[in-house]
C-alpha cells in the first residue's frame, strides 16, 4: 500500500530472548501512518504523484483573498490591527476598504492559490446604460466610492 496503509505491530514483538513464545489472544495495535513516504528522490526521478504531494496550494492564502465572479481578486489593507489612535479617522476609513490586487502580485497569488487574476478592461468599466430615474436626481453618475464595498453585485 501507500503511506496511508496501516502498519501492524504485535504487542509481544518486543520480548527478551528467554521468554516464552505465547501468541494467544493478545490484542494487536494498529498504527496509521507508520509507513514512511520513502527515501529521498531527486526531482528528475519523481513521479507525478510525488510532485502533487509536495505542490499543495496554500490554504491560508485562500482565506485572505476575495474572488469576485468577474475574476478580480481583492484583499484587506495593512495597518488596521493596532495603534489606531495615532491614525486619523480619514486614514482609518481608507484603510478599512478592500483593495484590488494589481499586476505585480499576480504571479505570487497564482502560485499560492492556483487561480489567475482577471483584470477588467476599459470596456468592462464603462456603464453602458443609465436608468432614467438617476438622471433627475444625479444618482450614480460618478465613480466616487467604486470598489469600496465587499461585493457590488
Nearest to 34 by CA among 14, 12, 9: 9
Mean pLDDT of the region 14-31: 62
| Model pLDDT for residues 99-127, shown as the tens digit of each residue | 999 888 988 898 888 899 988 887 777 76
Query: In the prediction, which pLDDT does 95 show?
Result: 94
Q: How many CB atoms lie within 10 A of CB 113?
A: 18
Nearest to 84 by CA among 73, 93, 75, 76: 93
Query: In the prediction, which pLDDT does 49 show?
Result: 85
Give the C-alpha distances (Å, rounded to integers) separating 118 from 31, 51, 107: 47, 27, 12
- pLDDT for residue 18 is more than 60: no
Q: How many CB atoms lie within 10 A of CB 100?
A: 14
Query: In the prediction, which pLDDT does 111 show?
Result: 84
Residue 62 CA to residue 117 CA, distance in Å, equals: 13
Q: Are 35 and 7 in contact (CB under 8 A)?
A: yes
Phi, psi of 42 (to 5 degrees): -70, 155
Phi, psi of 74 (to 5 degrees): -125, 155
Q: Is the alpha carbon torsion for 16, 22, 26, 29 positive or negative? A: positive
- pLDDT for residue 141 is more than 90: no
Amino acid at each position: 500500500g501507500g503511506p496511508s496503509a496501516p502498519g501492524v505491530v504485535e504487542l509481544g514483538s518486543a520480548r527478551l530472548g528467554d521468554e516464552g513464545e505465547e501468541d494467544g489472544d493478545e490484542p494487536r495495535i494498529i498504527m496509521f501512518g507508520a509507513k514512511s513516504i520513502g527515501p529521498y528522490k531527486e526531482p528528475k526521478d519523481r513521479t507525478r504523484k510525488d510532485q502533487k504531494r509536495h505542490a499543495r496550494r496554500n490554504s491560508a492564502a485562500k482565506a485572505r483573498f476575495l474572488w469576485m465572479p468577474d475574476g478580480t481578486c481583492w484583499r484587506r489593507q495593512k495597518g488596521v490591527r493596532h495603534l489606531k489612535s495615532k491614525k486619523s479617522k480619514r486614514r482609518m476609513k481608507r484603510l478599512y476598504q478592500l483593495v484590488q490586487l494589481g499586476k505585480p502580485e499576480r504571479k505570487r497569488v497564482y502560485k499560492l492559490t492556483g487561480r489567475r487574476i482577471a483584470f477588467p478592461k476599459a470596456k468592462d468599466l464603462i456603464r453602458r446604460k443609465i436608468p432614467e430615474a438617476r438622471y433627475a436626481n444625479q444618482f450614480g453618475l460618478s465613480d466616487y466610492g467604486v470598489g469600496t464595498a465587499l461585493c457590488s453585485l
